[in-house]
């Protein structure tokens, strides 16, 4: 078959599949146009996930009558001041969205700019243009997309069910609404209002779209390096989700789903969140335009940074400093906050209890009751984990905070984190204390385990654990980290061998050190099933409040849970009583 040029009609349909691969992409492009037009309020209406109908209504600057026909031409745009593609200050700039939508669907634009007496409209159906005509509409633009991909059936048959397409389109609007908190957004899907938010500040927008409870637990952060500024909100280690749904990245006002940023966030939390869980964050970056390329893909959701390593390091460092804030700085009530009367109630059996029931006795912490075999101290306002009142199952410490909340601490998980941070601090100071064994211990292992550990002998020695080969499949332990006291050397080495075997690919030195520190800490920690004295419980709580990343253990599991008065009342059905 001879080489021939394709018709413009066919070219547009082919190109449309690259720019508009599903309803969510069309929604994203139309909302970005509205934002670029300076809209202060945007409404998005979806029918059948956007497959049947999409409407985007804005109060922006509008399209003049004389430019409507040009707006639907490929590579026609008003958004580039020059053609260097360096200083791109708008969300759109390629001039592909409207012609792509018009080539694949039925598109109608109705627009009225300020100063124009009436509105005008233009329609495109499968690439065929219906000329400009008068219309009735307020200031701004209304874009209507109907019967998406009717003109390209091969694309339409690969669409998912309307519910799935609706979810993707709603997520696109959600990300754009986060990126532009100064703009009011309303999203309606199949006649259901998904959200309706006024123009607001960043924390309020995050609260509206992440949920007030989630946003209330997030912490502010701000950092700058080499002209790149980072700010936003991120969750503590204890706030994680099963998916990455509550992660938002905005770069120079553009919401992105960028692998470099996602990887940086994952690395920042890798030591404090369990495998399979994901952090919560809403982050804004400002990057010099000349250090950023947004023209990587037609969807413009991935970027290319001139200094990707620097951006990732900035993100990891800022999150790391946030996670190192002690528990007392993350959620504790102000020191001078008024404290409500705090009481504990329990049922005390009396003589003839079957006939007379249980008499409820109310005890004030100001007159401490006997709880098991000790009296609780008065909780201080600057101690967010409160005062210990009991130990449950010889595993969990029960405490009461100054605001009346109940705090339950997993003693092993908490002490594991404290030990790891202590070892980490010693290592970073270059002085991990080592304790020589009076009698070296021989540990029998498989040849593979022994080889694996001996291959990491330098790392282990830097952490205070000295080993050497002792025949086939055996290792001699000469010294252990002093912080571990009297560990079970055999169990410790087997666990370390397992840790180093988890990755079949080469692992960075830092990751190996982290893994070894976590294992060492686990073998030193207070075990579940050990009864603690009141003073030990109180000391554990105070050290947690002063230790970085104390909200989770070395494996990412929570070290404590907190139940507020409102949560307790909800659990017992007392809200509104």
Say yes or no: 30 and 119 in one domain: yes
Task: Provide the domain limits for residue 115.
Answer: 8-197
Percentage of the residues of the chain whose pLDDT score is greater than 70: 76
Better pLDDT: 369 or 301: 301
Percentage of the residues of the chain whose pLDDT score is greater than 90: 31
Say yes or no: 184 and 223 in one domain: no
Residue finishing a domain among 163, 197, 231: 197
357 part of a folded domain: no
Say yes or no: 438 and 548 in one domain: yes
**DSSP sequence for 469-538:** E-STTEEEEEEEEGGG-S--HHHHHHHHHHHHHS-SS---HHHHHHHHHHHHHHHHSPPTT----HHHHH
In order of 79, 365, 376, 389, the CA distances from 370 in angstroms are: 73, 10, 8, 9
Quote the mean pLDDT of the chain: 79
Say yes or no: 188 and 238 in one domain: no
Say yes or no: 225 and 279 in one domain: yes
What pLDDT is attached to residue 123?
94
Domain count, the chain: 3
Say yes or no: 150 and 207 in one domain: no
Look up residue 325 and give its DSSP letter.
S
CB atoms inside a 10 Å sphere around CB 513: 17
Q: What is the mean pLDDT of residues 82-107?
A: 68
Give the residue from 115, 102, 113, 122 showing the smallest Cα distance to 141: 113
Say yes or no: 187 and 225 in one domain: no
355 part of a folded domain: no
Q: How far apart are CA 311 and CA 315, in angstroms?
A: 6
Q: Give me the residues paired with residue 146 across strands.
A: 53, 106
What pLDDT is attached to residue 527?
58
- Domain of 240, CATH number, reads 3.30.230.10
In order of 301, 329, 463, 500, the CA distances from 450 in angstroms are: 47, 44, 18, 11
Say yes or no: 20 and 167 in one domain: yes
Say yes or no: 186 and 42 in one domain: yes
499 part of a folded domain: yes
Say yes or no: 153 and 252 in one domain: no
What pLDDT is attached to residue 353?
34
What pLDDT is attached to residue 116?
93
Considering the entire predicted model, what is its pTM?
Answer: 0.65
Q: How far apart are CA 175 and CA 197, in angstroms?
A: 13
Say yes or no: 181 and 229 in one domain: no
The SS3 call for residue 195 is strand
Residue finishing a domain among 280, 304, 323: 323
State both tokens at 447.
Answer: 């040849």
Better pLDDT: 161 or 238: 161
Helix H or strand E encompassing 466: strand 466-469
Q: How far apart are CA 51 and CA 168, in angstroms?
A: 12
317 part of a folded domain: yes
What pLDDT is attached to residue 190?
93
pLDDT band at 421 (very low <50, low <70, confident <90, very high): confident
358 part of a folded domain: no
- Domain of 385, CATH number, reads 3.30.1370.100
329 part of a folded domain: no
348 part of a folded domain: no
Residue finishing a domain among 323, 339, 367: 323
Alpha helices in 202-291 (DSSP H): 202-210, 212-217, 259-269
The torsion angles phi and psi of 329, rounded to 5 degrees, stand at: -100, 0
Say yes or no: 189 and 293 in one domain: no
Q: What is the mean pLDDT of residues 64-91?
A: 66
- Domain of 61, CATH number, reads 3.30.565.10
- Across 47-61, 424-438, 455-469, least confident range: 424-438
CB 274 within 8 A of CB 238: no
340 part of a folded domain: no
């Amino acid at each position: 078959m001879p080489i021939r040029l394709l018709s413009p009609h066919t070219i547009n349909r082919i190109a449309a599949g690259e720019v508009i691969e599903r309803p969510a992409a069309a929604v994203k492009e139309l909302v970005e146009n509205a934002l670029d037009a300076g809209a202060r309020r945007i409404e998005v209406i979806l029918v059948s996930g956007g497959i049947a109908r999409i409407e985007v209504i804005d109060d922006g600057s509008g399209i003049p009558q004389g430019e409507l026909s040009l707006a639907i031409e490929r590579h026609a745009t008003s958004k580039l001041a020059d053609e260097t593609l360096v200083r791109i200050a708008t969300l759109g700039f390629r001039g592909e969205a409207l012609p792509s939508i018009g080539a694949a669907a039925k598109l109608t634009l109705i627009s009225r700019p300020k100063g124009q007496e009436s509105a005008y409209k233009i329609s495109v159906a499968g690439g065929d243009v219906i000329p400009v005509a008068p219309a009735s509409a307020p200031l701004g633009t209304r874009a209507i997309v109907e019967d998406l991909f009717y003109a390209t059936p091969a694309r339409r048959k690969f669409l998912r069910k309307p519910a799935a397409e609706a979810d993707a389109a709603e997520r696109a609007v959600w990300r754009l609404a986060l990126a532009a908190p100064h703009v009011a957004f309303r999203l309606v899907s199949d006649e259901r209002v998904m959200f309706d938010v006024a123009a607001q500040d960043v924390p309020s927008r995050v609260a509206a779209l992440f949920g007030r409870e989630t946003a209330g637990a997030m912490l502010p952060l701000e950092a700058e390096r080499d002209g790149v500024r980072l700010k936003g909100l991120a969750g503590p280690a204890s706030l994680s989700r099963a998916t990455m749904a509550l992660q938002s990245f905005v770069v120079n006002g553009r919401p992105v789903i960028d692998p470099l940023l996602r990887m940086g966030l994952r690395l920042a939390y890798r030591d404090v969140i369990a495998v399979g869980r994901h952090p919560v964050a809403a982050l804004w970056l400002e990057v010099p335009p000349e250090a950023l390329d947004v023209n990587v893909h037609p969807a413009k959701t991935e970027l290319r940074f001139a200094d990707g390593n620097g951006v990732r390091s900035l993100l990891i460092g800022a999150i790391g400093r946030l996670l190192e804030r002690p528990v007392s700085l993350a959620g504790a009530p102000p020191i001078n906050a008024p404290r409500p009367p705090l009481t504990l109630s329990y049922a005390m059996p009396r003589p003839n209890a079957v006939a007379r029931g249980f008499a409820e006795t109310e005890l004030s912490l100001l007159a401490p009751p006997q709880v098991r075999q000790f009296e609780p101290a008065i909780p201080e306002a600057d101690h967010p984990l409160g005062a210990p009142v009991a130990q449950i199952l010889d595993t969990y410490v029960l405490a009461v905070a100054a605001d009346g909340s109940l705090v339950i601490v997993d003693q092993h998980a908490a002490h594991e984190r404290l030990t790891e941070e202590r070892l980490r601090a010693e290592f970073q100071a270059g002085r991990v204390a080592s304790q020589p064994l009076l009698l070296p211990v021989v540990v029998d292992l498989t040849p593979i385990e022994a080889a694996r550990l001996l291959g990491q002998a330098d790392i282990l020695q830097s952490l205070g654990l000295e080993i050497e080969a002792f025949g086939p499949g055996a290792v001699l332990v000469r010294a252990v980290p002093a912080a571990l006291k009297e560990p079970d050397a055999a169990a410790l080495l087997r666990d370390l061998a397992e840790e180093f075997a988890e990755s079949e690919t080469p692992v960075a030195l830092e990751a190996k050190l982290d893994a070894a520190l976590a294992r060492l800490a686990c073998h030193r920690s207070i075990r579940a099933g050990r009864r603690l004295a009141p003073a030990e419980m109180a000391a554990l709580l105070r050290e947690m409040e002063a230790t970085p990343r104390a909200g989770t253990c070395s494996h990412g599991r929570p070290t404590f849970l907190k139940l507020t008065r409102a949560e307790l009342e909800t659990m017992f059905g007392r809200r509104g009583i």
